[in-house]
Amino acid sequence: MIPVILDTDIGTDIDDTWALAMLLRSPELDLKLVVSDTGDTIYRACLIAKLLERAGRTDVPVGVGIPLEQADKPQAEWVADYRLSAYPGRVYEDGVGAIVDTIMGSPAPVTVIAIGPLANIAAALQREPAIAERARFVGMHGSIRRGYNGKPQPDAEYNVARYPHACQAVFSAPWEITITPLDTCGVILLDGARYRAVRDCDDPLIRALMENYRLWARNAKWAGGVDPEVCSSVLFDTAAVYLAFCEELLVMETLPIRITDDGYTKVEPGARLVRCATEWKDLPAFADLLVQRLTST
Per DSSP, which regions of the chain are E strands?
2-8, 29-36, 62-63, 91-92, 110-114, 135-139, 177-179, 250-259, 265-267, 272-280
Per-residue model confidence (pLDDT) at position 71: 77
Per-residue model confidence (pLDDT) at position 178: 98
The CA distance from 252 to 278, in Å, is 6
Per-residue model confidence (pLDDT) at position 223: 80
Q: What tens-digit pLDDT sequence spans the chain (297 residues)?
A: 999 999 999 999 999 999 999 999 999 999 999 999 999 999 999 999 999 999 999 999 999 999 998 778 999 999 999 999 999 999 999 999 999 999 999 999 999 999 999 999 999 999 999 999 999 999 999 999 999 988 999 999 999 999 999 999 999 999 999 999 999 999 999 999 999 999 999 999 999 999 999 999 999 888 888 999 999 999 999 999 999 999 999 999 999 999 999 999 999 999 999 999 999 999 999 999 999 999 986
Per-residue model confidence (pLDDT) at position 66: 97
3-state secondary structure of 170: helix
Superfamily of domain 2-295 in CATH is Ribonucleoside hydrolase-like (3.90.245.10)
Domain residues of the chain, as ranges? 2-295
Per-residue model confidence (pLDDT) at position 192: 98
